[in-house]
Structure 1
């Protein structure tokens, strides 16, 4: 698939910085990840639900120069997805790339849709529907089947962490990602909802600890933000510690629905998130940004300063 280059810092005073947003266009719910010695971002195309029917992806060797890969997945390849695909989450397993997504914005078990999976042989796609149906199509433990994040544990097990409507579930994926492996007690979907959770879960491991992050507040409002908890297991229990990402009325509103990128072999971390420009009131006017994320000496995440400057060039070795 062809792409075209975007130099987000052209004309900027400092040539080693890219300005936030990192690329042009309305994009939200960004998942940042590293594949094949490149940074990748897979965001939601932020538009009215009936137009939000495809995903673009963006790749960069250094967080400054971005290449757009258009329509890596389109609902024409997912027959059951009629409207509103969003919040992609991707992982490489073997020689395949699996893209998890929410579709149709179902409001009850009587509606058809939920969380789907697409597969491709390259990170830029094209992705095709993997199952021909949703992977999760029902409300379990009160969680709307949206905002999926696929997490690879240190032992190689893969989990799907997901949920809207203030409920979050974790489920262990089977080896080929066609379904789930029940937990010891027979349950498939285990609720791990922390205090104030709304949506947008994300998990990573640092120094043997599991950091669970999520979005709070309403995505259309000024209270949208990101908080976190730490536990010794991906099952928790997760006790909310603090809010670490939120709007700055000098810069932008509605900062939330994030992901985290760790630079390989270094203790350097970036938070990838969306926010709304100060002069925008449309709920879909969201842009993707990157800022640095730091920890204190005890391993707690420090509050993130959202910036216009963005981050310095950071080529992968």
Structure 2
């Protein structure tokens, strides 16, 4: 168990009693015909296991920075989109576990990037590596990113003994002053939230941090301002179970004091909808509307599992005239974000055949335009696409289960399903989407995966 300091023991006990008094949620439905598995769902937003998202827009392009699951990777994940619906994956050269290390670093991986634009026009990233906070900078969200503090953490791992120095989130007020909030508990015991002003160089703290911990705080602070009021939103509970949730407090300044709102939490497990442990969020605006981007457990959910697998989703957030936040209605359809198209580009329609690893991961999952579902290869490792008639097929976009891992495949084509020719010899690539050109006239395409490799396919788009 972690330490509890500063008289927070009573707050923690009260929070645990409150959670214990709440009625248990019904068990989620893991079956493949549940509501979450229906074709065309807009949530999850990304074809990936990802968590702790940060979202920005620059010159008409959207960027999501996120932790790569399971439980972080050697790099941060970067997703880019011109329209907010069709996303491409990459991994910036910085930060990496190897590059962002110091004598006070722990063994934790790269987690929870927060990206903002400074007054100087540059972009700044505050990211948790080795359980301490590092800062990097770039001329654009697309990079190139580089360390900004001469190989040292902004907040070392031993800065506040007894608490986790992670989940740093930057906030820039209307006057241009930047602030940094961070802090988490240890061993799933509630933590502390610290906030400090950032110096004009965005690389150092301008004065000592202030402990602004509201009731039921565990981690993942996010500050925003609406109608002259400051909102400190944060997560409580355990992200690996079904208790994670988003709570909030309000205050008169970015440095607090913050008082938890009477209708907190605003987002929590809704097992009836198969929405489990939503949290660690970012709040953004588009077209004058407010949205919340957050992660939740990947489906199908059957209870705590060996690997922590989460996915990023988006829903609406409403600020009421009285200053309270409405409870978020989490969805599988996803929010109709202003300025984004209503759906993803999905290519030509096709019918799938072949084997799947089990009933929840059949071949049809690669053609259902739903990133909550995926095809996992059966023993033969083969998936066949029937386009219904002879068509000129220009390219395929393959979205593998793990975009950061190599994925090997071969493509064949046939006019009639009997005579086949190899159009893409076996190759190994990583990314999402993997773009494969194959100018061919055919009715059928057949995908072979490498025997024994891990990872399925979220989606196969044929154009």
RMSD: 2.1
Please, which of 172, 189, 197 is the counterpart of residue 197 of structure 2? 172
Which structure 2 segments of 5+ residues have no match? 1-37, 186-190, 341-463
Q: How does 1:286-305 map to 2 (within 5 A)?
A: 286-305=310-329
For residues 235-280 of structure 1, the C-alpha deviation after alignment (integer angstroms, 9 at most, x for no partner) is: 221111110111111222111111101125x2x1110000013424
**Counterpart residue number, 1:256:** 279
1:309 aligns with 2:333: yes
For residues 92-121 of structure 1, the C-alpha deviation after alignment (integer angstroms, 9 at most, x for no partner) is: 12232111111113xxxxxxxx10011112
Q: CA deviation at 1:158?
A: 0.8
Q: Secondary structure at the match of 1:54?
A: coil
**Counterpart residue number, 1:230:** 250
Residues 251, 306 of structure 1: 8 Å contact kept: no
Which structure 1 segments of 5+ residues have no match? 1-10, 106-113, 183-187
**Greater shift in the superposed pair: 59-68 or 28-37:** 59-68
Name which structure has the greater RCO, CA cutoff 8 Å, separation 6+. 1
1:71 aligns with 2:92: yes
**Counterpart residue number, 2:295:** 274
**Greater shift in the superposed pair: 70-79 or 40-49:** 70-79
What number of residue pairs does the alignment pair up? 285
Residues 63, 311 of structure 1: 8 Å contact kept: no
Please, which of 214, 233, 236 is the counterpart of residue 234 of structure 2? 214
Q: Secondary structure at the match of 2:246?
A: strand
Q: Which has the higher strand share?
A: 1
Residues 44, 311 of structure 2: 8 Å contact kept: yes
| Alpha-carbon distance in structure 2 between the residues aligned to 1:253 and 1:72 | 33
Distance 1:257 1:313, change over 3 A: closer
| Alpha-carbon distance in structure 2 between the residues aligned to 1:236 and 1:59 | 34
Q: Secondary structure at the match of 1:71?
A: coil
Residues 141, 191 of structure 1: 8 Å contact kept: no
| Alpha-carbon distance in structure 1 between the residues aligned to 2:231 and 2:165 | 22
**Counterpart residue number, 2:181:** 161
Please, which of 112, 127, 134 is the counterpart of residue 153 of structure 2? 134
Q: What is the TM-score when the length of structure 2 is the normalising length? A: 0.58
Q: Secondary structure at the match of 2:255?
A: coil
Q: Secondary structure at the match of 1:180?
A: coil
| Alpha-carbon distance in structure 2 between the residues aligned to 1:34 and 1:209 | 24
| Alpha-carbon distance in structure 2 between the residues aligned to 1:39 and 1:232 | 31
Q: CA deviation at 1:69?
A: 3.0
Q: CA deviation at 1:34?
A: 2.3
Distance 1:313 1:201, change over 3 A: closer
For residues 139-188 of structure 1, the C-alpha deviation after alignment (integer angstroms, 9 at most, x for no partner) is: 33854210000111122111110001110001111111231212xxxxx0
Q: What is the TM-score when the length of structure 1 is the normalising length? A: 0.83
Q: Secondary structure at the match of 2:276?
A: strand
Distance 1:283 1:210, change over 3 A: farther
**Counterpart residue number, 1:181:** 206
Please say which structure displays the higher CA radius of gyration: 2
**Greater shift in the superposed pair: 290-299 or 190-199:** 290-299
1:21 aligns with 2:44: yes
Q: Secondary structure at the match of 1:254?
A: coil
Please, which of 69, 87, 111 is the counterpart of residue 86 of structure 1? 111
For residues 37-73 of structure 1, the C-alpha deviation after alignment (integer angstroms, 9 at most, x for no partner) is: 3332111111245xx1101212234332223233353
| Alpha-carbon distance in structure 1 between the residues aligned to 2:321 and 2:203 | 41
Distance 1:104 1:79, change over 3 A: closer
